């Protein structure tokens, strides 16, 4: 005889930042645009300073790499300007044992996990210091030691990868949590829907993070979806979500930390919408003045995440103008030294084209390679 099985009861979802009523635009915010807060921030002063220094370092690295691209010293770069809080605040909430599956603007996460600056720059150059050996697009870092997965430029594919890795961890009994990043444009991709549904049904220990920077290259958010928010898309899959001020590093950290703990306790996934803004082009190959109003950019500049957090630290008497000057000079020296070291790298060995594929190179391929090398040298 068939028996009726009671549905499995799940633990309560994390408290949502967004009031779920039609038209809601509420965001989880800890620090206002002027740097003030009424909230109690449960974070050590040391941790706050680390967040700020990481944001400043990401911004300076970004500025210098874009300069190198304009000088023809690297071929391509995807800037992060305006999104530092969204990247730094979310990554910092994960533990080192957790895995990061990035989209385009999470390179700072690899550096926070220990990827040396000169190796990151070598990846942009594609020389023999590059861990990818020149075979991956610039900005597509990989850093296995830091549990930072190499990204794909195919939109949204890392969502399925992140959910799959989370399920592997769950099946193995590892209490790690996976971070899966995406942009607002990826929420229209097939992998978004497949990944969200699978993660929710099987309670995968993953935090899916959308950096909603308002533009999917030249497609505005208004043409990307017709829902009131991106966060509410999680409702359809039975997944808890939070909508967060992505330019407030403490709000991003708080929301992500809550989602990570929720997943680690075995309660399944959370979807985070980090509302931020890309102030430069989608990449160094893009001219954003062709498709958006400069007044919009100016408006978002007033919400600059780095300046906001600096004002907060100054109000808390944790930061001074002298410390700012010293930090800027220190980071400038670090980046200059890293550029010099990276540019000392040589060409990627041609032999790697086949020796990376075959442990024992077939005779005919070896002959072809020798002929190619001989022709190049003649």
Q: Which residues are catalytic?
A: 278, 282, 291
- For the chain, the first-to-last Cα distance in angstroms comes to 83
Q: Tell how strand 219-220 and strand 215-216 pair up.
A: antiparallel
Q: What are phi and psi of 34, to 5 degrees?
A: -90, 5
Q: What are phi and psi of 66, to 5 degrees?
A: -65, -35
The CA distance from 371 to 311, in Å, is 63
Reference 140, options 184, 75, 187, 91; nearest CA is 75
The CA distance from 346 to 352, in Å, is 14
DSSP letter assigned to residue 156? T
Alpha helix segments (H runs only) across the chain: 45-70, 84-92, 107-112, 117-125, 157-172, 190-201, 249-264, 294-301, 305-315, 321-343, 352-355, 363-377
The CA distance from 80 to 280, in Å, is 8
Instruction: Name beta bridge partners: 271.
Output: 208, 241
Distances from the Cα of 156 to the Cαs of 152, 174, 183, in angstroms? 8, 25, 8
CA atoms within 13 A on the CB side of 116: 11
For the record, the structure tokens of 283 come out as: 């990449």
Instruction: Name beta bridge partners: 28.
Output: 244
């Amino acid at each position: 005889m068939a028996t009726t099985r009671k549905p499995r009861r799940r633990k309560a979802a994390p408290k949502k930042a967004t009031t779920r009523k039609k038209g809601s635009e509420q965001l989880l915010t800890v620090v206002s645009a002027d740097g003030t807060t009424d909230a109690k921030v449960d974070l050590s002063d040391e941790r706050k300073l680390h967040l700020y220094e990481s944001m400043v370092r990401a911004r300076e690295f970004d500025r210098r790499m874009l300069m190198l691209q304009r000088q023809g010293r690297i071929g391509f770069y995807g800037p992060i300007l305006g999104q530092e809080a969204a990247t730094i605040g979310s990554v910092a909430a994960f533990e080192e044992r957790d895995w990061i599956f990035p989209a385009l603007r999470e390179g700072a996460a690899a550096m926070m996990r220990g990827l040396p600056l000169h190796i990151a720059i070598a990846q942009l150059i594609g020389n023999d210091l590059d861990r990818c050996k020149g075979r991956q697009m610039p900005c597509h870092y990989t850093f296995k030691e830091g549990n930072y997965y190499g990204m794909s430029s195919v939109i949204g594919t890392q969502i399925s990868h992140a959910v799959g890795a989370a399920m592997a961890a769950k099946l193995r009994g590892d209490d790690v949590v996976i971070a899966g990043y995406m942009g607002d444009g990826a929420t229209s991709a097939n992998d978004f829907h497949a990944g969200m549904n699978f993660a929710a049904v099987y309670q995968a220990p993953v935090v899916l993070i959308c950096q909603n920077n308002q533009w999917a290259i030249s497609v505005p958010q208004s043409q990307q979806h017709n829902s009131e928010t991106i966060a509410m898309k999680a409702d359809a899959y039975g997944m808890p979500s939070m909508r967060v001020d992505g330019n407030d590093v403490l709000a991003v950290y708080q929301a992500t930390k809550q989602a990570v703990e929720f997943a680690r306790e075995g309660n399944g996934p959370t979807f985070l919408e980090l509302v931020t803004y890309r102030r430069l082009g989608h990449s160094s190959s893009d001219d954003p003045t062709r498709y958006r109003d400069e007044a919009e950019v100016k408006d978002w500049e007033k919400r600059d995440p780095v300046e906001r957090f600096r004002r907060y630290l100054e109000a808390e008497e944790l930061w001074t103008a002298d410390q700012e000057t010293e930090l800027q000079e220190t980071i400038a020296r670090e980046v200059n030294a890293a550029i010099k070291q990276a540019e000392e790298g040589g060409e990627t060995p041609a032999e790697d084209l086949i020796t990376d594929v075959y442990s024992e190179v077939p005779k005919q391929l070896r002959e072809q390679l020798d002929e190619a090398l001989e022709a190049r040298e003649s």
